[in-house]
Structure 1
């Protein structure tokens, strides 16, 4: 078994817990040396935290609508029924995106 397969199996073990107990999506934005705005997406559940991906969100960060689109796609990827809450920073664009997301997906906080 190669390392990629081991990691995929490890993540699948976490994903099975998300459907049983729910999970939190966590996002962490930062700026790299090239002045790109990057957002790391992690999912926390009963078995711990899994890093899922890092997104170049330079074009997303200006408005709440764009951040909403990014977060909404990630919720869809994880499965809305599995997500209890989304944790982000408190920038006005994230606050606006959070309100839009809660309006669309009534079970999220």
Structure 2
């Protein structure tokens, strides 16, 4: 039986270096905690969060503007109270009309 093939000390140096290099590349590309794949996934997630943050900042600005309009425009406040919340003034009668779907 040829035990020379099973003994890593008898292998050629170039083969051992190639084997070690392949192991290191695979390790750092896929298996390590800070692998290339993990870093790419985290980078993508970071970009998504940046985009969502910008969208939320725009939403906040729109809501602040809406609050200012509601504080300064009583007619708009009354319109929203009537249409969205079904409120009415004292002594008024509200009639709701259902539209038939065709």
TM-score normalised to structure 1 length:
0.21
Higher strand content, 1 or 2: 1
TM-score normalised to structure 2 length:
0.22
